[in-house]
Amino acid sequence: MIIYLSFLYLLTGIIFLLTPLLYLELGRPKDFIKAGLNLIVGMLLLVKHNLFDNLYTSILIFVSLLFIFYLVEIFSIRWNQLTYQEKNKLKTFIELKKNISKIISALSLARKDFLNLN
| pLDDT of 71 strictly over 70 | yes
pLDDT band at 118 (very low <50, low <70, confident <90, very high): low
Closest CA to 34 of 52, 14, 48: 14
Residue 51: pLDDT over 70: no
pTM (two decimals): 0.53
pLDDT of residue 54: 59
pLDDT digits (tens, 9 = 90+) for 6-47: 788 788 888 878 877 777 666 777 777 778 887 888 888 777
Q: How far apart are CA 113 and CA 118, in angstroms?
A: 9
